[in-house]
Amino acid sequence: MTTPGTEADLLARVISGDRGAFDSIMRVQENRVFSVCLRILGNRENALDATQETFLTVFRKAAQFKGDSALGTWIYRIAVNTCYDQIRKSARKPTESIPDHLEPPDASAEDAIEAAGLRPEIERALAGLPPEFRAAVVLSDLEGMSLPETAEVLGIPVGTVKSRVFRGRRLLAERLGNQTMRSDHQRDTDA
């Protein structure tokens, strides 16, 4: 993690056109930005796109960083907003028509879920949460940010974060409970 002094120096150099300074910032933050995007979007390819878009925005808006939060917090806020944009865009895309005959389940789809680094049932449950709840749970419970840090990244009051984390976990519990019951039922049926 870079110190505030280093961060200010690096950003000043980025603003003056020093690409090496930008590269240093990127190398420090890229894995965590990618992790946040991956957990919110649930797909490595989309997460990679969002990570790239995040750093493009950081480069373009470096001069707008006022220093009233840590550089990392500012970058994660951009990352979360980029993910929200991507979710909105994909929601607007017209859904493809269902083919007449359904293909058999694709084993690679399961691999893709596991590629997100979470257990498949957790990944599925997380993907079913509304984006705002998902982001709060990802930052707080998966990325280990404190509630005030999460509030700063999301740009909302701590009380609202608590509410979103609470409701997000509750929905996750419901979904995980249902999935557990379904897999127990499946095991019983198979036996």
Q: Residues interacting with another protein, by CB under 8 A?
A: 14-20, 23, 26, 30-32, 34-35, 38-39, 44, 47-48, 51-52, 55-56, 59-60, 62, 116-119, 122, 141-143, 146-147, 159, 162-163, 165-166, 169-170, 172-174, 176-177
CB of 184 to another protein, least distance (A): 15
Closer CB to another protein, 16 or 189, in the complex? 16
Closer CB to another protein, 81 or 150, in the complex? 150
Three-state SS letters, the chain: CCCHHHHHHHHHHHHCCCHHHHHHHHHHHHHHHHHHHHHHHCCHHHHHHHHHHHHHHHHHCHHHCCCCCCHHHHHHHHHHHHHHHHHHHHHHCCCCCCCCCCCCCCHHHHHHHHCCCCCHHHHHHHHCCCHHHHHHHHHHHHCCCCHHHHHHHHCCCHHHHHHHHHHHHHHHHHHHHHHHHHHHHHHHHHC
CB of 89 to another protein, least distance (A): 18
Closer CB to another protein, 6 or 163, in the complex? 163
CB of 185 to another protein, least distance (A): 19
Closer CB to another protein, 117 or 130, in the complex? 117
CB of 6 to another protein, least distance (A): 19
